[in-house]
């Protein structure tokens, strides 16, 4: 073991080391499965993400008319992701959707770009801080990026949708991981997240409800092409005992999503309101499930 370590230290000082250990096929745009030989944990996370489903999604298949609408394809199976640029369509392994290679491999340098400074013998790597910025997501999430920019917040897309996992190993392959220290890891599940009750303020004023998205720094819900929805259900009890139900759909497609910090008025049928129970539910673009975001009961203060 000790002589082996010396040998490795010696090789570490040797400039040609990189070329000695390079696994050439990694620079030939392999399928994502190949990356899992070493990056097993990241691969498992990515398989749970919507990026993995971007091509095979049944909604996408149907709405792109069985992949006949060419203008739909490039963001769902991109060749190379660059900040703020709409990607070109990939020729190979389209079923990998938004893949490891698309996001990390750059033709210009023939190496893997990423946020860290690493020593990665099997493939050259370059530290590239554009990976930590929202502009990295902007070429595809175009509308959401515009909304985020208008919100003028510090937090990047990554800080919420690629949350930190603390320090962990980037690779799991034995014995190679023994030669690398744990490094800052971010979740490749790209969670859709869910607004908290505090993210939406609900107020009652004469004849109307006022909803404000105070916590999500883009529209609630947000989309480029998908049809995510927010359902408002208000049960009103009037002073005379009469009851009414008001339903309202809020969505990007009907241009009624809640913009960040812009109050939205929702009129309610006239009368002296005694009590109103408001429920907000959300449905993501790719799911049928309706999940409760907030439930609140408001009462008109007695005069």
Which residues, numbered 154-183, are part of the site for ligand HEC (CB under 6 A)?
Answer: 155, 157-162, 170-171, 173, 176, 180, 183
**6-45 footprint of ligand HEC as x/- string (CB under 6 A):** -----------------x--x---x-x-xx-xxx--xx--
| Choice between 13 and 301, CB closer to ligand HEC | 13
Residue 123 CB, nearest distance to ligand HEC (Å)?
A: 6
Contact 111, 127 (CB under 8 A): no
Indicate which single residue of 125, 204, 213, 278 sits in contact with ligand HEC (rule: CB under 6 A). 125
| Choice between 212 and 225, CB closer to ligand HEC | 225
The C-alpha torsion from 84 through 185 and 191 to 82, rounded to 10°, is 10
Tokens standing for 84? 């703020």
Contacts of 281 (CB under 8 A, 6+ apart): 230, 231, 233, 290, 291, 292, 293
Tokens standing for 23? 């696994």
Establish if 75 lies at the interface with ligand HEC (CB under 6 A): yes
> By rule CB under 6 A, what count of residues binds ligand HEC?
97
Establish if 195 lies at the interface with ligand HEC (CB under 6 A): yes
The Cβ of residue 131 has, within 10 Å, a number of other Cβ atoms equal to 18
Establish if 256 lies at the interface with ligand HEC (CB under 6 A): no
The Cβ of residue 1 has, within 10 Å, a number of other Cβ atoms equal to 4
Establish if 234 lies at the interface with ligand HEC (CB under 6 A): no
CA distances from 196 to 139, 214, 280, 288 (A): 28, 10, 11, 20
| CA diameter of the chain | 90
| Choice between 99 and 273, CB closer to ligand HEC | 99
Contact 43, 103 (CB under 8 A): no
Contact 129, 117 (CB under 8 A): no
8: buried, middle or exposed (CB in 10 Å: 19+, 13-18, 0-12)?
exposed
Indicate which single residue of 90, 229, 282, 294 sits in contact with ligand HEC (rule: CB under 6 A). 282
Query: In angstroms, rounded to a whole number, what is the distance separating the alpha carbons of residues 48 and 132?
Result: 21
Query: In angstroms, rounded to a whole number, what is the distance separating the alpha carbons of residues 199 and 151?
Result: 14
Tokens standing for 114? 């990423």
Which residue stretch of 212-220, 232-240, 241-249, 269-277 sits at the interface with ligand HEC (rule: CB under 6 A)?
Answer: 212-220
Indicate which single residue of 90, 101, 211, 280 sits in contact with ligand HEC (rule: CB under 6 A). 101
Indicate which single residue of 209, 258, 293, 294 sits in contact with ligand HEC (rule: CB under 6 A). 293
Establish if 259 lies at the interface with ligand HEC (CB under 6 A): no
CA distances from 18 to 12, 14, 121, 198 (A): 9, 9, 5, 51
Which residue stretch of 123-131, 206-214, 259-267, 294-302 sits at the interface with ligand HEC (rule: CB under 6 A)?
Answer: 123-131
Establish if 57 lies at the interface with ligand HEC (CB under 6 A): yes
Which residue stretch of 3-11, 68-76, 204-212, 271-279 sits at the interface with ligand HEC (rule: CB under 6 A)?
Answer: 68-76
Establish if 222 lies at the interface with ligand HEC (CB under 6 A): yes
Establish if 69 lies at the interface with ligand HEC (CB under 6 A): yes
Establish if 76 lies at the interface with ligand HEC (CB under 6 A): yes
Establish if 250 lies at the interface with ligand HEC (CB under 6 A): no
| Choice between 188 and 236, CB closer to ligand HEC | 188
């Amino acid at each position: 073991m000790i002589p082996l370590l010396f040998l490795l230290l010696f090789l570490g000082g040797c400039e040609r080391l990189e070329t000695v250990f390079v696994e050439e096929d990694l620079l030939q745009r392999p399928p994502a499965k190949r990356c899992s030989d070493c990056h097993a944990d990241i691969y498992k996370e990515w398989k749970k993400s919507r990026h993995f489903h971007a091509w095979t999604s049944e909604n996408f298949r149907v709405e792109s008319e069985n992949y006949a609408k060419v203008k739909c394809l490039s963001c769902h199976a991109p060749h190379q992701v660059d900040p703020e640029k709409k990607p070109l369509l990939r020729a190979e392994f389209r079923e990998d959707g938004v893949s490891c290679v698309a996001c990390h491999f750059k033709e210009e340098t023939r190496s893997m770009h990423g946020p860290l400074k690493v020593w990665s013998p099997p493939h050259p790597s370059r530290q590239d801080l554009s990976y930590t910025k929202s502009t990295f997501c902007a070429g595809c999430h175009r509308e959401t990026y515009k909304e985020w920019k208008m919100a003028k917040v510090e937090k990047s897309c990554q800080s919420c949708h690629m949350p930190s996992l603390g320090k962990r190993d980037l690779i799991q392959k034995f014995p190679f991981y023994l030669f690398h220290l744990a490094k800052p890891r971010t979740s490749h599940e790209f969670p859709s997240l869910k607004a908290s009750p505090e993210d939406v303020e609900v107020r009652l004023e004469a004849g109307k409800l006022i909803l404000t998205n105070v916590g999500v720094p883009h529209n609630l819900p947000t989309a480029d092409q998908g049809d995510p929805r927010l359902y408002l259900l208000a049960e009103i009890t009037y002073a005379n005992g009469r009851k009414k139900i008001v339903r309202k759909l809020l969505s990007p497609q009907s241009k009624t999503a809640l913009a960040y910090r812009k109050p939205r008025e929702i009129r309610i049928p006239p009368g002296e309101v005694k009590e109103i129970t408001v429920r907000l539910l959300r449905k993501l673009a790719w799911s049928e499930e309706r999940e409760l975001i907030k439930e609140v009961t408001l009462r008109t203060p007695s005069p």
